[in-house]
Amino acid sequence: MQQEKILEAAASLQERILVVDEGELTSHQVRASLQGRGSEVIRASSLREALEEIRVKAPDLILVGLELQDVPGLRAVDILHDRVPAVPLLAFTESPRMSDAVDAVRRGAVDYLGKPFTPNQLSQALRRALQEVRTKRELARVQEDVKDRYGFSHLLTRSPKMLEVFDQVRAVAGTEATVLIRGETGTGKELITRAIHQRSRRSGAPFISVNCGAFAETLLESELFGHERGSFTGATGARKGVFEMADGGTLFLDELGETSLNVQVNLLRVLEDFQFRRVGGTESVQVDVRILAATNVELEDAVAEKRFRADLYYRLDVFPIFLPPLRERREDIPLLMRHFLEDAGREYELPPPTITSEALETILAYRWPGNVRQLRALCERWVITRSKRRLEREHLPRVMTGASSGPVEYSGFAVDDQRPLSENTDRALREVERAYLHRLLRRHMGHLVDTAKAAGITRRTLYTKMKQYGLNAAEYRPQK
């Protein structure tokens, strides 16, 4: 299977392992467990010696005994974790206790072993810890490769399909061609449009994004073209639309397939000569705007069914780009997971969990109907619910482990199944969702349209959720 090839490729990476123990037996056992893998095993007999080895050789994984003479007990875990917080720690002791095991993990260890351990116990513990090492190293390598090759420091991939997309972006960015981006919801269409804008001659001018599916027909025309005072109830003053706000720059029209035929007619007229009138206005407004559009609708089918104008489709489909769903780029999943877990950890100020190989294999096998957006939302949940702990297969939603027939959409989260939630689980989900919406509102400074779009829900649903959780958009807007 594809995920097995990915894991095999990761296993081929060489690691440097530091074993901190007064005796030599543990380091010999580690070498025996890793025979044939090419890993380098370094030994230090004290914490002081270990800190010097860390300074000189920068290990990828540390195994530390809790019976050191200079710093005995869990204090050694504290010191090592403070010195190299990004390096996984595996603690072992001759006097194992459950309370110490829990405490060690809370202090930053990824695992805890009692001596004497069997070869199988050591091998399994090393396998879990080294998976963490490999994921981090691969993430750093791929980020650097993509940045060097394409200059897309904010995009992350090792998928051949996505690298082809990057080549298309590089080819079209310097032109004035209209770009139509196709792909399922959550595949990252807006990230690609921003990459096109940033590499274009218009990069110093505005980039304006509008979600066409978030507005009723009459409100969308006002959003696009602006309106004059008194043009409709509530229009207490004149207002520019996004076409005017993007003058000289780039306008991204998202979810264009959700627009009505009347709006499509008006859009076609504007795209012909980039002139329009504000709603209720009489004077023509001329703009210089590059159009990027996106949709998850099969426009050919919509044209055949008379739901989308053929002439507008041909006007937009000058340079098509297709974004593959996440299930067709599974090699990106471990990299994206690590990125999202670390990003959420910084946002919530919580250390992210470690991922076991069994959990990763299950995650790789899942179809991800919500694509990258769904993966990111789940990573945020895991940071909140499994911080400092190990994410096992049993902690994954049941839809991933095969115990459910399909996912249920729950405001951007994939809920395990349709069975009634226990009170504790329900409360946990509410806390996660409230924290998620709080984060999005803060990121978008209380702008409800952008927040709803980022969450993958409608504005009406967002209003309902904000009322439910006591969130007020005004509190997130800049103070004048």
Q: Is the pLDDT of residue 10 over 50?
A: no
Average pLDDT, the chain: 80
Q: In the predicted model, is pLDDT for residue 163 greater than 60?
A: yes
Asked if the model's pLDDT at residue 40 lies above 80, the reply is yes
151 inside domain:
no
Cα 308 from Cα 381, distance rounded (Å) = 38
Same domain (yes/no): 190, 274: yes
Percent of the chain with pLDDT over 70: 83
pLDDT over 70 at 33, yes or no: yes
Q: Which residues are CB-neighbours of 290 under 8 A, at least 6 positions away?
A: 176, 178, 200, 202, 249, 250, 251
Q: For residue 295, name the pLDDT band (cuts at 50, 70, 90).
A: very high
Q: Does some domain include residue 152?
A: no
Structure confidence at residue 256 as a pLDDT band (50, 70, 90): very high
Whether 206 is in a domain gets the answer: yes
Say what the pLDDT of residue 243 is.
93
Task: Classify residue 154: in a domain, yes or no.
Answer: no
Question: What pLDDT is recorded for position 181?
Answer: 96
Res 153: pLDDT: 52
Q: Are residues 234 and 341 in the same domain?
A: no
Domain count, the chain: 3
**Residues 15 and 164 both lie in one domain:** no
Mean pLDDT in residue range 32-44: 77
Average pLDDT over residues 218-229: 86
Q: Are residues 179 and 274 in the same domain?
A: yes
Does 249 have pLDDT greater than 50? Answer: yes
Could you tell me the two tokens for 264?
């499509």
Q: How far apart, in whole angstroms, are the C-alpha atoms of residue 57 and residue 73?
A: 24
CA distance 100 to 94: 12
Residues 169 and 141 in one domain: no
Amino acid in position 253:
L
Among 150-164, 204-218, 234-248, 346-360, where is mean pLDDT lowest? 150-164
**Higher model confidence: residue 63 or residue 237?**
63
Same domain for 131 and 64?
Answer: yes
Q: Is the whole model's pTM more than 0.85, yes or no?
A: no
pLDDT top residue among 415 and 76: 76
CATH code at position 463: 1.10.8.60
Query: Is 139 inside any structural domain?
Result: yes
Burial of 283 (0-12, 13-18, 19+ CB in 10 A): exposed
Average pLDDT over residues 151-164: 76
Higher-confidence residue of 153 and 92: namely: 92
| Residue 84, domain member (yes or no) | yes
Q: Phi first, then psi: what are they for 226, rounded to 5°? A: 80, 175
pLDDT number for residue 200: 92
Confidence tier at 9 by pLDDT (50, 70, 90):
very low
The domain containing residue 412 runs over which residues? 328-476
Pairing of the two strands 390-391 and 408-410 = unpaired
Q: Residue 92: which of 70, 71, 73, 69 has the closest Cα?
A: 73
343-352, 382-391, 428-437: range with lowest mean pLDDT? 428-437
Q: Each residue of 335-379: pLDDT tens digit?
A: 888 888 888 888 888 888 888 878 888 898 899 999 999 999 999
* Same-domain pairing of 181 and 124: no
Least confident interval from 90-94, 147-151, 353-357, 444-448: 147-151
pLDDT of res. 456: 64
**Which domain CATH number covers 299?**
3.40.50.300
414 pLDDT band, cuts 50/70/90, is very low
Q: What's the confidence (pLDDT) of residue 381?
A: 92
